Amino acid sequence: MMGPPKFPQIIAEPPRGSVLVLAPHPDDESLGCGGVIALHHRQGDRVTVVVATDGAAGDPMGYYRDCDYPALRREEAGRAASILGIDTLEFWGYPDGQLAEATDLAVRLQARLVADRPDIVYRPSTLELHADHWALGLAAQEALRQYRPPCGDFCYEVWATVQPTHCLNITPVWDLKRNAVEQYASQLRYNDLLHMMSGLNAYRTLVAPWARYVEAFQAG
């Protein structure tokens, strides 16, 4: 029988070390963990972000049909990366919406872990409602299970909340996170991501009422 849930650890700064962030689409790195990325940068930690899909399905109304839309998404991500202090930004280019069909994803992630030897990994939770988020979270979970020595494994929130083990005060870098999300004009045209993100990060101050904004993570 499971015991009662444990209160999350409230932290003012992330663990130190090299960082690998896994994002299903361009913008997820900023929405889900833009605050922790900015804080890692302030600490002098090297941050690498891998964006798994090309983001091509993010324009269902065809507003950008006359341009190279995946290239536009990459440009937006590049501007956000400069704001947050991301050192390396890599695009794997899997078809947007089809990540669950990528049979080589876990193997490719495993190879990246071996090559980079990150100290900390941030990835989507397998509780995520979006199929691409779920697929990347599941593949990362499998790759991390086989990776030795173990590294820090933290799931972030975008499409679904987690039962947090760690809550990080991102108030000091909130303006950077907000500015990073503002670079994704192609996505803001469809959804008020700033409102959604600020609501989630404000809600998470329930466990840290002295803060204005908090990012929550679940250790994998």
The reply to whether 171 falls in a domain is yes
Is residue 24 in a domain?
A: yes
| pLDDT for position 65 | 94
2 occurs within a structural domain: no
Is the pLDDT confidence value at 118 over 70? yes
Residue 113 lies in a domain: yes
- Domain with residue 160: its CATH number is 3.40.50.10320
User: Is 205 part of any domain?
Assistant: yes
Encode the chain in three state secondary structure: CCCCCCCCEEECCCCCCCEEEEECCCCHHHHHHHHHHHHHHHHCCCEEEEEEECCHHHCCCCCCCCCCHHHHHHHHHHHHHHHHCCCEEEEEEECCCCHHHCCCHHHHHHHHHHHHCCCEEEEECCCCCCHHHHHHHHHHHHHHHHCCCCCEEEEECCCCCCCCCEEEECHHHHHHHHHHHHCCHHHHCCCCHHHHHHHHHHHHHHHCCCCCCEEEEEEC
Q: What is the pLDDT of residue 2?
A: 67
Neighbouring residues of 158: CB distance < 8 A, sequence distance ≥ 6: 28, 31, 32, 124, 128, 130, 133
- Residue 147 scores a pLDDT above 90: no
Residues above pLDDT 70, as percent of the chain: 99
What average pLDDT does this structure show over 88-112? 97
Residue-averaged pLDDT of the chain: 96
Q: Considering the domain boundaries, does residue 118 fall inside one?
A: yes
Model pLDDT, residue 5: 82
Q: Cα–Cα distance between 72 and 68 in angstroms, integer?
A: 6
Looking at the chain, the whole-number percentage of residues with pLDDT higher than 90 is 95
Residue 175 predicted with pLDDT over 60: yes
Residues pairing with 124 in the sheet: 156
At 19-69, the pLDDT tens digits run 999 999 999 999 999 999 999 999 999 999 999 999 999 999 999 999 999
**Does any domain span residue 111?**
yes
Domain count across the chain: 1
Q: What is the pLDDT of residue 120?
A: 98
Q: Is residue 4 part of a domain?
A: no
Q: What is the pLDDT of residue 77?
A: 99
Confidence class of residue 150 from pLDDT cuts 50, 70 and 90? Answer: confident
Q: Which residues span the domain enclosing 128? A: 14-55+69-219
Backbone angles phi, psi at 139, to 5 degrees: -65, -40
pLDDT of residue 14: 97
Q: In the prediction, which pLDDT does 34 show?
A: 99
- pLDDT beyond 60 at 160: yes
**Is pLDDT above 90 for 189?**
yes
